[in-house]
Amino acid sequence: MGRNKYDRAPDRYNPARLPAGEDPSMNIITHPDRFFRERLSGEVSLWLPAAAVLAAAVAQVVFINLFLSSIDRLVPYPGFLGPAMPAAHAAIFITVCVAWLLLAAHFRIFTPGHAGSPRQGFFRKALAVPGYGRVPVVAGYIILSVLFVVVWPMAGIAPAPGEKYHEYLDAEAAMTAHLNPKNPSEMQKAHELLPHVVSLQHEAREEAVAGYNQIIDEIQQNPVMTAFFAAAKGLLVLSALWGGLIMAFGLKHAAGVSMKTSAVLVALPVGLEILLIIMSGPGP
């Protein structure tokens, strides 16, 4: 039978058909359906999704660093928050990676046609989809970081008062001046000053804790920062919705299911993420 003139081949992705100057990698933003039709049609590479997950964690760490370092400069004990930063960084990276694996497991378990009789290579696709879904999070935290740099000076948060740190430094300097191993009497004086130095350091740290709490209270009551955190929540919710849309298109091509089915599967984790964003208190 002859081919009807209205028949045409399926609309397969072909980079050569893209408009001039359009980057194929940007299709995840402008044409996610086309993007995943190409990316998930053959052997699936995970380096780009993994890079997106890593970039999301790095972008979040940068924002947290900006926020904490800005507070640290107002606390009457320089470097007071420094020891907490590595733990915060590690927690962010662990949380982002665990969330990535949990999303992939969710898609692997609940996608129709895969539970009990998995298709070859589906788990790689299930990992790729939420990885690409982190792209809007990267954009969201970059925008938040830039916005914070602009807004923070406008808030006018005053440094917390405190004198104990300077008293501690003076006492420590006085003790150090007597540290002379060749002079036993000077070493004895340094030894006698040590309890006073330790006591002042303890008082300075207590003063720093009180100053930190005072700054946090002021931030929460500051109208500029209140507006910033409200905008931040809105931006993160939009990022979650945008990421959910990307994942819905990705799961559609990864599992060969309808857009309605993929949207339902994506709705639960995205809804949980949005709920956590809304319920979180002011601050990053």
One DSSP character per residue, 180-221 reads -TT-HHHHHHHHHHHHHHHHHHHHHHHHHHHHHHHHHHHHHH
**Which residue in this structure is represented by tokens 């040590």?**
194
Confidence of residue 212 (pLDDT cuts 50, 70, 90): very high
Tokens of residue 184, six digits: 């036993």
Express as a percent the part of the chain with pLDDT over 70.
87
128 vs 143: CA distance, rounded Å = 24
User: Which of 101, 40, 237 lies closest to 245 in space, CA to CA?
Assistant: 237
Tokens of residue 34, six digits: 């086309």
59 vs 128: CA distance, rounded Å = 20
Q: How far apart are the first and last CA of the chain?
A: 66
The DSSP output letter for 24 is G
What's the pTM value of the predicted model, to 2 decimals?
0.82
User: Which of 216, 265, 224 lies closest to 244 in space, CA to CA?
Assistant: 265
pLDDT of residue 113: 66
Arithmetic mean of pLDDT, 75-94: 91
User: Which of 203, 176, 170 lies closest to 189 in space, CA to CA?
Assistant: 176
Residue 196: exposed, middle, or buried by beta-carbon count in 10 A (0-12, 13-18, 19+)? Answer: middle
230 vs 212: CA distance, rounded Å = 22
pLDDT of residue 161: 87
Express as a percent the part of the chain with pLDDT over 90.
59
Let me know: does 148 contact 263? Beta carbons within 8 Å: no
pLDDT of residue 11: 41
pLDDT in tens, 120-174: 578 889 999 999 999 999 999 999 999 999 999 999 999 998 889 899 999 999 8
Q: Is 12 helix (H, G, I), strand (E, B) or coil?
A: coil
Q: Is 118 helix (H, G, I), strand (E, B) or coil?
A: coil
